[in-house]
């Protein structure tokens, strides 16, 4: 049965993205919001808005019982969590399940499994996905870590089992570094995720980040090809593009990720993240069990509305597409226009005095920003996602240059100057890019 009303438990550009799709599907859009967002576009455009005011602004979007109460009072059939906040919170999904409200995403059990990187690695290894060598259990002693590192070879990376956002990761080149690195990673994991379990994995040098977009209905899965996301700062993506692989490789890894999703009974949108080494070998990193910031790249090259497809499978429909109906056309690039200082990526909150976002053939800009918008300092610094499509990579880059040059944002610092320089940089143009790209091109900052 179709949903009548869905609660958006998020803010910013993704709240607007979800709202637009609900409108297209003739589903009423309800939204929660904190004090900072009371005048924001998604709140003004929603059919009904429900304030959850908290002294700590993040709590407005993180208070599980308050969001469940809102969904009940507003008589919503389902909740869309977007990304971040409660999107990967198994307790939240479980509470909604208990109340008979649909969580738009996988079941709480699947979230629990995938939220633990150690468990997720084991499950995907069992499904036939290639993983980097590493510990199959949490590590707490430097001695054990040293034994494992000697077995798999240095360098290794220590990561939080509950990790996200690159938080806490430590690269270790020699055994004497373990003591300090373990403590640091455990401490950061504890404060960020309330869980100090960490594990050790082979550090893949010179790697590229490649991820696959998947949609599943709890039984069958299909994939929508890959995105290349190696341009990162502090392990967070700045530029995403696609396609990146040959048709053969896409079909090969695509079949694996579908098998992985089916093996856990996955339902909804998912992203399977991999590192790809210099020899083209793939290593599974993690599954993101939600819509991702960069899903837009895939929408431009496949022509499918992924948010809509995610809502449809949540409504109980089986996969509305066959794998052979997904065709990749042309090339798309996305630049994240964060409100940040380009020298050090420090957030730059403030009022937007003026802003003009580009449009035109082959351009898409997803943003909740407008003149007068007060960019809060307490949330993510993503201000807009600017995308360019072209028949090939070269034309998409040219179109991105035009679009970046046309964009006007005054009042806050932003990353447009950095993106503009990257679009002219020779390694970028050749596609000679690894996850160390920003570190190796410090001349672009500033």
Q: Which residues form the catalytic set?
A: 290
The interface mask with ligand ADP, positions 272-291, x = CB under 6 A, is -x-x---------xx-----
356 - beta bridge partners?
408
**Binding to ligand ADP by residue 207, rule CB under 6 A?**
yes
Binder among 2, 130, 165, 431 for ligand ADP (CB under 6 A)? 165
Q: Closest approach of Cβ 444 to ligand ADP, in Å?
A: 18
**Binding to ligand ADP by residue 158, rule CB under 6 A?**
no
List the interface residues with ligand ADP, window 128-157 (CB under 6 A).
132, 157
Stretch that binds ligand ADP, among 196-204, 239-247, 297-305, 320-328 (CB under 6 A): 196-204
- How many chain residues interact with ligand ADP (CB under 6 A)? 21
Q: Closest approach of Cβ 45 to ligand ADP, in Å?
A: 31
**Binding to ligand ADP by residue 163, rule CB under 6 A?**
yes
Binder among 143, 176, 235, 351 for ligand ADP (CB under 6 A)? 235
Nearer to ligand ADP, 22 or 207 (CB): 207
Cis peptide bond N-terminal to 243, omega within 30: yes
Reference 128, options 290, 247, 282; nearest CA is 282
Reference 440, options 229, 232, 280; nearest CA is 232
Q: Closest approach of Cβ 189 to ligand ADP, in Å?
A: 10
* DSSP strand pairing (102-103 vs 78-80): parallel
Q: Closest approach of Cβ 387 to ligand ADP, in Å?
A: 21
Q: Which long-range contacts (CB under 8 A, 24 or more apart) does 92-96 make?
A: 92/64, 92/67, 92/68, 95/64, 95/65, 95/68, 96/68, 96/71
Nearer to ligand ADP, 33 or 209 (CB): 209
Stretch that binds ligand ADP, among 6-14, 195-203, 352-360, 389-397 (CB under 6 A): 195-203
For residue 394 the two structure tokens come to: 């070269």
Binder among 164, 265, 350, 377 for ligand ADP (CB under 6 A)? 164
Nearer to ligand ADP, 228 or 266 (CB): 228
**Binding to ligand ADP by residue 208, rule CB under 6 A?**
no
Q: Closest approach of Cβ 263 to ligand ADP, in Å?
A: 20
Stretch that binds ligand ADP, among 42-50, 141-149, 204-212, 248-256 (CB under 6 A): 204-212
Nearer to ligand ADP, 168 or 358 (CB): 168
Nearer to ligand ADP, 37 or 240 (CB): 240
**Binding to ligand ADP by residue 88, rule CB under 6 A?**
no
Buried/exposed 23-39: b ≥16 CB within 10 Å, e otherwise: eebebbbbbbbbebbee
Binder among 239, 435, 438, 444 for ligand ADP (CB under 6 A)? 435
Nearer to ligand ADP, 42 or 134 (CB): 134
List the interface residues with ligand ADP, window 103-132 (CB under 6 A).
132
List the interface residues with ligand ADP, window 245-274 (CB under 6 A).
273
Binder among 108, 135, 232, 302 for ligand ADP (CB under 6 A)? 232
Distant-in-sequence, close-in-space partners of 357: CB < 8 Å, separation ≥ 6: 365, 367, 369, 384, 386, 407
Stretch that binds ligand ADP, among 159-167, 313-321, 324-332, 437-445 (CB under 6 A): 159-167
List the interface residues with ligand ADP, window 330-389 (CB under 6 A).
none
Q: Closest approach of Cβ 275 to ligand ADP, in Å?
A: 6
Within 10 angstroms of residue 405's Cβ, the number of other Cβ atoms is 12
Q: Closest approach of Cβ 155 to ligand ADP, in Å?
A: 8
Nearer to ligand ADP, 203 or 228 (CB): 203
Question: Which residues make up the interface to ligand ADP (CB under 6 A)?
Answer: 132, 157, 163-167, 169, 201-204, 207, 209, 232, 235, 273, 275, 285-286, 435
């Amino acid at each position: 049965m179709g949903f009548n009303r869905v609660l958006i438990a998020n803010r910013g550009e993704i709240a607007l993205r979800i709202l637009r799709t609900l409108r297209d599907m003739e589903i009423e859009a309800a939204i929660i919001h904190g004090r900072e967002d009371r005048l924001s576009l998604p709140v003004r455009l929603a059919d009904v808005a429900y304030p959850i005011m908290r002294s700590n602004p993040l709590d407005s979007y993180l208070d599980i019982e308050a969001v469940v109460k809102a969904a009940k009072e507003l008589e919503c059939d389902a909740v869309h969590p977007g990304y971040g906040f409660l999107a990967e919170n198994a307790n939240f999904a479980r509470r909604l399940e208990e109340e008979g409200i649909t969580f738009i995403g996988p079941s709480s059990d699947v979230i629990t499994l995938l939220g633990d990187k150690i468990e997720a690695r084991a499950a995907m290894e069992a499904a036939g996905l290639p993983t980097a060598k590493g510990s199959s259990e949490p590590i707490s002693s430097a001695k054990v870590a040293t034994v494992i590192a000697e077995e798999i070879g240095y360098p290794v990376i220590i990561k939080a089992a509950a990790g996200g956002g690159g938080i806490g990761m430590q690269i270790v080149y020699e055994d004497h570094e373990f003591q300090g690195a373990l403590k640091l990673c455990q401490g950061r994991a504890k404060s960020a995720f309330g869980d100090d379990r960490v594990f050790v994995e082979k550090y893949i040098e010179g790697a590229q980040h490649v991820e696959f977009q998947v949609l599943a209905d709890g039984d069958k899965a299909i994939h929508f090809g890959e995105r290349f996301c190696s341009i990162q700062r502090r392990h967070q993506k700045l530029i995403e593009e696609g396609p990146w692989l040959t048709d053969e490789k896409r079909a090969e890894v695509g079949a694996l990720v579908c098998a992985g999703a089916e093996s856990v009974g996955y339902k909804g949108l998912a992203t399977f993240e991999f590192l790809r080494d210099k020899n083209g070998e793939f290593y599974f990193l993690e599954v993101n069990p939600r819509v991702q910031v960069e899903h837009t790249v895939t929408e431009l090259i496949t022509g499918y509305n992924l948010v809509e497809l995610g809502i449809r499978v949540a409504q109980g429909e089986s996969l509305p597409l066959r794998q052979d109906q997904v065709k990749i056309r042309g090339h798309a690039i996305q630049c994240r226009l964060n409100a940040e200082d380009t020298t050090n990526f420090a957030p730059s909150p403030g009022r937007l005095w003026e802003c003009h976002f580009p449009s035109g053939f082959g351009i898409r800009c997803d943003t909740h920003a407008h003149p007068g918008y007060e960019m809060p300092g307490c949330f993510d610094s993503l201000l807009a996602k600017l995308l360019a499509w072209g028949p090939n990579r070269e034309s998409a880059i040219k179109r991105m240059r035009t679009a970046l040059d046309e964009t006007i944002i005054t009042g806050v610092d932003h990353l447009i100057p950095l993106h503009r320089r990257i679009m002219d940089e020779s390694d970028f143009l050749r596609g000679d890019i690894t996850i160390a790209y920003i570190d190796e091109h410090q001349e672009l900052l500033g």
